Amino acid sequence: MKIDRKENYILVEDEKSDIKYFSNYLANQGYRHLKDKNVIVNITKYGKLQLDQLLGFLKLSNEHRADGKSFVLINDTIDIEHLPPELMVVPTLREAEDVIQMEDIERDLGAF
């Protein structure tokens, strides 16, 4: 797992090629590195993914958001109409950064 710490988030990328292993690793061992930060997970290298592959990130996303932090996935081939609303997926890093910025503002205003 590659971790790149930015000013207001952590960018995480898989160094291997197994999306299910990666989502399981993040949810278990990897989470201690991410717990108190906004997180962007770049999964663009996997290309087109199936819904069940993405759902591997759902529990982690829900837990992270419940702790008052953003959790955003980057993938530009996903049909977002079939995703649960709790799973935030955007096509670019810039959009992921924008989501985090907006959610930080909403939390500051008490909307979350």
Q: What is the DSSP letter of 45?
A: G
Phi and psi, residue 87, nearest 5°: -105, 110
Please give the structure tokens belonging to residue 93. Answer: 């890093």
CB neighbour list of residue 68: distance below 8 Å, 6 or more residues apart: 107, 112
Q: What is the pLDDT of residues 4-60, one digit of tens each?
A: 999 999 999 998 888 999 998 888 877 777 888 999 999 999 888 888 888 899 989
CATH placement of domain 2-108: 3.30.750.24
Q: How far is CA 31 from the centre of its chain?
A: 12
Question: What does the domain layout of the chain look like in residue ranges?
Answer: 2-108
Maximum C-alpha span of the chain:
40
**What's the whole-number mean pLDDT along residues 57-85?**
89
